[in-house]
């Protein structure tokens, strides 16, 4: 039994190519229709890029007050990074703009470079990001070809583990704080290896204690929201 107005928290496995807003829109659409409330609050606790998949926390009703608290939870990602080339967006959203040697890189060199990013670090977010500059989203300016200057942010990376090393591709597991851009981390890892790098795949596998294995697919949550009994409190 669901009570979307008092508040529900859903953990969804965001599909590839969907925006975070696409997931919110799907859930809001079903719940507003089923509750008859056109102004039902629905939000998410942490954006995922369209080219990323994985854990997305959706919050409804009065529990949207918890979004800031939920966003502050530790996150875990599995990222595939290609060394030897860069893109303006630091991922596959944009085309390769430069290539670099990568043949000098070894597994030991990768592990040594990764160790430099554990702990408190300073990171410059990507221009293709939701960061605001003078009230405008950076990605909107970047996509118009405008120069975007974003100040570095301090964040914490608890763990980085090398899962696979099939050069020039590496797969890493990252446990980090709120505000970490894995695309920017890929860029910085490339620079640390005297090369370039960009992200080719990203999956958020955990937010707080919520693991990807416990998340619902968009299809599954759609079916549940359409069929499960819903409590609709009287309007006050």
- Can you tell me whether residue 64 is helix, strand or coil? helix
How long is the chain?
A: 236
N- to C-terminal Cα separation, the chain:
21
User: What are the CA-CA distances from residue 9 to residues 31, 45, 118, 138, 181 (Å)?
Assistant: 13, 10, 31, 29, 24
Backbone torsions φ then ψ of 100, nearest 5 degrees:
-140, 155
Alpha carbons 25 and 236: distance in angstroms, whole number: 26
Alpha carbons 234 and 36: distance in angstroms, whole number: 12
Please pick, among 13, 22, 49, 147, the residue that the annotation labels catalytic.
49
Is 134 catalytic? The answer is no
- Give the active site residues: 49
């Amino acid at each position: 039994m669901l009570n979307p107005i008092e508040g529900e928290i859903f953990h969804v496995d965001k599909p590839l190519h969907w925006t975070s807003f696409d997931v919110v829109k799907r859930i809001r659409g079903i719940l507003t229709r089923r509750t008859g409330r056109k102004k039902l609050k629905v939000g998410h606790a942490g954006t995922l890029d369209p080219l990323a998949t994985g854990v997305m926390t959706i919050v409804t009703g009065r529990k949207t007050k918890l979004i800031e608290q939920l966003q502050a939870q530790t996150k875990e990602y599995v990222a595939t990074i290609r060394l030897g080339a860069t893109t303006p967006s630091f991922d596959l959203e944009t085309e390769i703009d430069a290539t670099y040697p990568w043949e000098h890189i070894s597994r030991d060199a990768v592990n040594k470079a990764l160790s430099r990013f554990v702990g408190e670090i300073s990171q410059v977010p990507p221009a293709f990001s939701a960061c605001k500059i003078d009230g405008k989203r950076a990605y909107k300016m970047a996509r118009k070809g405008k120069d975007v200057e974003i100040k570095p942010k301090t964040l914490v990376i608890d763990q980085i583990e090398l899962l696979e090393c099939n050069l020039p591709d590496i797969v890493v597991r990252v446990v980090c704080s709120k505000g970490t851009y894995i695309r920017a981390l890929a860029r910085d890892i490339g620079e640390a290896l005297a090369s370039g790098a960009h992200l080719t795949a990203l999956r958020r596998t955990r937010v707080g204690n919520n693991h990807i294995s416990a998340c619902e697919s968009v299809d599954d949550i759609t079916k549940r929201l359409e069929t499960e009994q819903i409590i609709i409190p009287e309007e006050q």
